[in-house]
Chain A
Amino acid sequence: MKKSDAFSPGPTPTFEESAKESLSDSQLRRNLGKATQTIRRKRAEAVGEMPDWEGLREAGRALKERVMRHLDEYLLQLEESVTRAGGKVHWARDAEEANRIIAGIVKDHGAEEVVKVKSIATDETKLNEHLEREGIRAFETDLAELIIQLAGETSSHILVPAIHKNRAEIRELFMERLGAQNLSDSPSDLTETARLYLREKFLAARVGISGANFAVAETGTVCVVESEGNGRMCTTLPPVLVTLMGIEKVIPAWRDFEVFMQLLPRSSTAERMNPYTSFWTGVSEGDGPREFHLVLMDNGRTDVLADEIGRQTLNCIRCSACLNVCPVYERTGGHAYNSVYPGPIGAILTPQLVGIGDPGPDSLPYASSLCGACYQVCPVKINIPEVLVHLRGKVTRHKQDRGGPRQKLDPENVAMQTVARVFSDPQLYEKAQRLARVGQWPFARGGSIGRLPGRLAGWTAVRDLKPVPQQSFREWWRQNRGSV
C-alpha cells in the first residue's frame, strides 16, 4: 500500500522520523549518491557553456514575478485563449474538485482506462486513487512511474522517481506483474518490455491525462517537456485529452518560451534540450485529440501567493536542480519528505500548500543546513534559504501561540525555541556553529554534538553526528563553490 503523505488526510510522520529509515537503507544511499553526483556534474557543464545564463535566470525570475503579481489577469487571458482555440477550461478550488472534474470527463466518454504522463499535480491530488474508486484504471506511462506504480510505491525524486530501485528489483517486478519471461536485467531489455506493454495501452486509450510544464496566456498553448515520448503519445493519440495544471504554471507570452525552454532542460536533465517537447494550442483539425480540457487548480497555491516572502515559491519550474545539490537530500532521499515534492523545494512548498500546524510538514523547513546551494542553482532564483528561515519563524510562532504556560516551560520546548531562533537567522546560525567549535554552544560537548534537541534528535539517533567541522558547510561552500 502507498504510504500516506502530507497531501493525504491525517497526520504525517516528521522528516526526522522518516529520515531515520532512509539513512539506514544503504542501497538507497548508494543509488542516490551516484545519481546526484552525476547529474550535478553534468548540469554544471550544461550551464557552463551558456555565457548568458545569469541573464536568463533573471529574466525567468522577473517573468514569474510578473505573473504572480497579476495572476488573476493571466488566468483569465489563458481561459479566453484556450477557449478560442477549441479547448474547454475548468477551475478547481482544491484537489477533490479537480479529481471530480477529471473523473467526470472520463466517465462522460465511457472510458474505463486512461493513460497518464507523469504529472506531479495529479500525484498531489491522488488522482489515480480517486479514479480507481470510480472504477477507472489509470496507467502511468513514464518508465519510472510505471515501475513505482507496479511496486505500489511512491516517487522519491521529481525527475528520477525510481532512483531507489536497482535493475534486479525491476526485473523481478516486470516478471511478476507484466508476465514477462526470460527477461535479463539489462536496462535496454527492461525498457523494451515496458515499451511493448505500454504501446498497446496508448493505442487503445480513449482518454489521455497530462500535467503541464507551462501554459501561455497569450496563445493558450500548453507545453509538456519530457524524454521518453510517452508525453507525445498521451497528448496526441487518445481522442480526448485532459490536462491538470496548478494555477502558477501560466506564463505571459509565446516568446517567453525562449527563456524557460533554455532554463529548464539544462537545469533539469542537464541537456541542451530534452528529447521531446510538445506544444499544443487547443485542438487542431485532423491532428491529435478532438477534445481538450484544461483544469486550473488552486489547492493551496493562493495561500502561498498571499505570503509576500513565500510567494516566490510559486516561481518553481520543477527542474529538480535544488534536489541534486542538496547535502541533506543526498543522504535521506525523497521519501523522508513525505510529500510529492521532495528536497529543498518540497521543504518550502509542502508546508505552505498544506498549511502550518501538522507536525510532518512543519518539520520540513528544518530539513536543511541553510548552505544556500539550492538558491545558487535555481534557474528562477527562488531564495530557498530565505523562505526556509521565514517558515521556521512561522512554525515557531504557531507553536508558541498554541502552547499553554506549561508547555512554554517544558525544557524541550525552550531548547526548541532557542534552536528555532538560531535557525531562523542565517547569521545567528553561523555564529552558533562557530561557537560550537570552541565548545561554548549549549548543545556541544567537547567540540562534538552528542544529542541534538528537538527536531534534530532523529539525526543523532541514527549515527553520531560528526563534530561540527572546523569550517562549516556554508563557509566551505562559499570558499569552494560559491561562485558557481
Chain B
Amino acid sequence: MVEAEQGIRLVATAKETILWRIRHATRDVPEEERPEAVAVERAYRKEDRADRGEIVARFAERAAEYEAEVHRVGPAELPRAIEEALRRRGVRRLVIPPYLPREWIPEGVETLHDAARSRLTNQELDESDAVLTGCALGIAQTGTIVLDAGRAQGRRALTLLPDYHLCIVRERQIVGLVPESFASLERAVKGEGRAVTFVSGPSATSDIELDRVEGVHGPRTLEVLIVG
C-alpha cells in the first residue's frame, strides 16, 4: 500500500494526485450520479415586485446608510448637480473614463481623460482629486453600486485611486434584489469576461477596537447622483 502510494507519487502530477484523492474520498457517491442530480432547492426571492418608485427610493435610502452621500436629480439638473458636487469638494483634477456622456463633463476643472490609446498612469490617477463615472447597476436591497468596466466606467483602477468618486446612477439601472443583479450581469461576465466590482459605501474598517473608520484604501468619499 505504502509502496504503491509512493510509486504513484513518483509518476503522478499534482493534478492527477489531487483528482485521484478526490475520487477516492468520494467513492460513496454513485458512479452514475450527475452533479445536477444533487437537488438544490432555491426557495428564496428572485425578484422585487414592489413598484419602481419604491425600489428607487429604497436604493437611495440604503446607499445613504453606508455614509455615501446621495442626491436625486432630474435629467435637466444633472450637469449643474455634477458641477456643484465637484465644487463643494474643491476638485481641481477630475478623471474621466471613456464614453462618459459629453454633457456630464463639467467646465472649469482640469479633466484627465483615460482612453485605450492613452492610458493615465497610476501616478496620475493617484494625484488626481476625483473620478466621475456612470455604473452598470444599482441594487436597491443593499444600496450597492455595480461597476462592470463598461461604458462610462472604465477600467478598475480609475475608481480606485482617486480619493473622491462621484457616481451617476440612472433610475432605470436600479434593480430590486441581489439575484436580479447577478442575472443581468451574466452576459458581461460570460460573454466578455469583464471585471465586476460591487461598491457599497466608501471603504471602511472596524479593525481598531471595532470603531468604524471611513476610507482606508479606496476613495474616502462616495457620492451618488440618482437621475430620474
Q: Are A and B interaction partners?
A: yes
> A residues within 8 A CB of B179?
255, 258
Whether B197 pairs with A232 at a CB distance below 8 angstroms is yes
- Interface residue stretch chosen among A11-19, A105-113, A188-196: A188-196
Contact of A58 among B19, B41, B218 (CB under 8 A): B41
The yes or no answer to B142 lying at the interface (CB within 8 A) is: yes
> A residues within 8 A CB of B193?
85-86, 219-220, 281-282, 284
> A residues within 8 A CB of B210?
34-35, 38, 160, 163
Q: A93-B14, A199-B126 are in contact. Are A74 and B35 (CB under 8 A)?
A: yes
Contact of B200 among A63, A162, A273, A286 (CB under 8 A): A273
Contact of A273 among B23, B144, B215 (CB under 8 A): B144
> B residues within 8 A CB of A229?
160, 203, 216-218
Whether B25 pairs with A167 at a CB distance below 8 angstroms is no
Contact with B along A40-70 (1 / 0, CB 8 A): 0000000000011011101100110110111
The yes or no answer to B194 lying at the interface (CB within 8 A) is: yes
> A residues within 8 A CB of B109?
none
The yes or no answer to A132 lying at the interface (CB within 8 A) is: no
Contact with B along A217-231 (1 / 0, CB 8 A): 011110000011110
Instruction: Report the nearest B residue to A56, measured CB to CB.
Output: B44
The yes or no answer to B57 lying at the interface (CB within 8 A) is: no
Whether A198 pairs with B22 at a CB distance below 8 angstroms is no
The yes or no answer to B111 lying at the interface (CB within 8 A) is: no
Distance to closest chain A CB from B171 (angstroms)? 20
> A residues within 8 A CB of B42?
55, 59, 259
> A residues within 8 A CB of B142?
265, 272-273
- Interface residue stretch chosen among A298-306, A399-407, A455-463, A467-475: A298-306
Contact of A286 among B38, B119, B196, B206 (CB under 8 A): B119
Whether B26 pairs with A305 at a CB distance below 8 angstroms is yes
The yes or no answer to A136 lying at the interface (CB within 8 A) is: no
Distance to closest chain A CB from B26 (angstroms)? 6
Within 8 A of A (CB), among B163-177: none
Q: What is the number of residues of chain B that contact chain A, defined by CB distance less than 8 Å?
A: 75
Whether B218 pairs with A91 at a CB distance below 8 angstroms is no
> A residues within 8 A CB of B189?
219, 221, 254, 279, 281
Whether B208 pairs with A167 at a CB distance below 8 angstroms is yes
| Cα separation A203 to B149 with both chains bound (whole Å) | 21
Contact of B35 among A52, A252, A257, A298 (CB under 8 A): A252
Whether A227 pairs with B123 at a CB distance below 8 angstroms is no
Q: A62-B41, A276-B203 are in contact. Are A91 and B15 (CB under 8 A)?
A: yes
Contact with B along A56-98 (1 / 0, CB 8 A): 1011001101101111111110000000011000111100010
Whether B157 pairs with A237 at a CB distance below 8 angstroms is yes
Contact with A along B139-174 (1 / 0, CB 8 A): 101111000010000011100100000000000000
Whether B45 pairs with A219 at a CB distance below 8 angstroms is no
Distance to closest chain B CB from A157 (angstroms)? 10
Size band of the interface chain A makes with B: 35 or more
Whether A228 pairs with B156 at a CB distance below 8 angstroms is no
Distance to closest chain B CB from A304 (angstroms)? 8
> A residues within 8 A CB of B89?
none
> A residues within 8 A CB of B15?
91
Contact with B along A236-280 (1 / 0, CB 8 A): 110000000001000010110111011001000101111111111
Contact of B216 among A69, A191, A271, A279 (CB under 8 A): A191
Contact of A281 among B18, B66, B178, B194 (CB under 8 A): B194
Whether B200 pairs with A279 at a CB distance below 8 angstroms is no
The yes or no answer to A432 lying at the interface (CB within 8 A) is: no
Whether B25 pairs with A303 at a CB distance below 8 angstroms is yes
> B residues within 8 A CB of A63?
40
The yes or no answer to B113 lying at the interface (CB within 8 A) is: no
| Cα separation A96 to B106 with both chains bound (whole Å) | 55
> Tally of A-B residue pairs with Cβ under 8 A?
253
The yes or no answer to A288 lying at the interface (CB within 8 A) is: yes
Distance to closest chain A CB from B40 (angstroms)? 4
The yes or no answer to B201 lying at the interface (CB within 8 A) is: yes
Whether A279 pairs with B18 at a CB distance below 8 angstroms is no
Whether B29 pairs with A70 at a CB distance below 8 angstroms is yes
Q: A85-B193, A275-B202, A279-B196 are in contact. Are A305 and B41 (CB under 8 A)?
A: no
- Interface residue stretch chosen among A141-149, A362-370, A384-392, A442-450: A141-149
> B residues within 8 A CB of A378?
none
Instruction: Report the nearest B residue to A166, measured CB to CB.
Output: B209
| Cα separation A221 to B185 with both chains bound (whole Å) | 12
The yes or no answer to A410 lying at the interface (CB within 8 A) is: no
> B residues within 8 A CB of A75?
18-19, 22
Whether A277 pairs with B197 at a CB distance below 8 angstroms is yes
The yes or no answer to A187 lying at the interface (CB within 8 A) is: yes
The yes or no answer to B88 lying at the interface (CB within 8 A) is: no
Whether B213 pairs with A191 at a CB distance below 8 angstroms is yes
The yes or no answer to B21 lying at the interface (CB within 8 A) is: yes
Q: A69-B38, A277-B197 are in contact. Are A52 and B43 (CB under 8 A)?
A: yes
Contact of A272 among B19, B200, B202 (CB under 8 A): B200
Whether A59 pairs with B44 at a CB distance below 8 angstroms is yes
Contact of A298 among B18, B38, B217 (CB under 8 A): B18
Within 8 A of A (CB), among B38-58: 38-46
Whether B217 pairs with A160 at a CB distance below 8 angstroms is no
> A residues within 8 A CB of B123?
203
Q: A254-B190, A272-B62, A303-B25 are in contact. Are A288 and B35 (CB under 8 A)?
A: no
The yes or no answer to B204 lying at the interface (CB within 8 A) is: yes
A selection of 11 A-B contacts at a CB cut-off of 8 Å is A38-B210, A51-B45, A59-B40, A93-B18, A220-B193, A237-B157, A273-B178, A275-B201, A275-B202, A277-B198, A280-B196
Beyond A59-B44, A75-B22, 10 additional contacts (C-beta under 8 Å) are: A69-B26, A160-B207, A188-B213, A195-B215, A232-B197, A254-B185, A254-B190, A255-B179, A287-B195, A302-B22
Q: Which 6 A-B pairs have the closest CB atoms?
A: A229-B218, A229-B217, A55-B43, A306-B25, A287-B155, A229-B203
Give B residues with C-beta under 8 Å from A: 13-15, 17-19, 21-26, 28-29, 33, 35-36, 38-46, 62, 66, 116, 119, 122-123, 126, 139, 141-144, 149, 155-157, 160, 178-179, 182-183, 185-186, 189-190, 193-211, 213, 215-218
